[in-house]
Chain A
Amino acid sequence: GNSVTQMEGPVTLSEEAFLTINCTYTATGYPSLFWYVQYPGEGLQLLLKATKADDKGSNKGFEATYRKETTSFHLEKGSVQVSDSAVYFCALEGEDGQNFVFGPGTRLSVLP
């Protein structure tokens, strides 16, 4: 079945550091890929998405590119802020419309 793997956290960075959170997936065909963010005490918010190969999703300074050849969708941000501290979930929906499969989440802590 479909699955999503993320780098294990927690990830601790200083403000203005560069962020990469790795995400790889296993799925047949061409799934849609997503990054969700969960701020402390809150629900899930869609951060960005990509629905076909080579698409780049971007939002709030975060980017991720759908790489079919490496089955990856790594999340990046050039300069993180304290307010980016949250748990980040990579997720996919299968090409056949199967419901979401979430990765285990990566906790990011940004220190001032």
Chain B
Amino acid sequence: NAGVTQTPKFRVLKTGQSMTLLCAQDMNHEYMYWYRQDPGMGLRLIHYSVGEGTTAKGEVPDGYNVSRLKKQNFLLGLESAAPSQTSVYFCASNKVRNTGELFFGEGSRLTVL
């Protein structure tokens, strides 16, 4: 079972470059989330989606955009990468809005030089 799959797993960017992280889930979950994890900061929510075609801002949305054109995919875009966006990014999904287990991908490590 694939669960939640993130691509790419590693990426190095130069300041100002753009890129897209792809998250795919095969569990037919309605809710999907993008987090970033930084030392000493815990997991912080960037954007989330409560269903196909919908997106909303989380705690730290600036500098990121997202799209959910298909239920199984949630894309995170960086239009003009900055060194402050160096982080490990995690995608998660779940079936129930306000309770239940979050299923996480393996993470995508992004370095912006």
Q: Do A and B come from one complex?
A: no
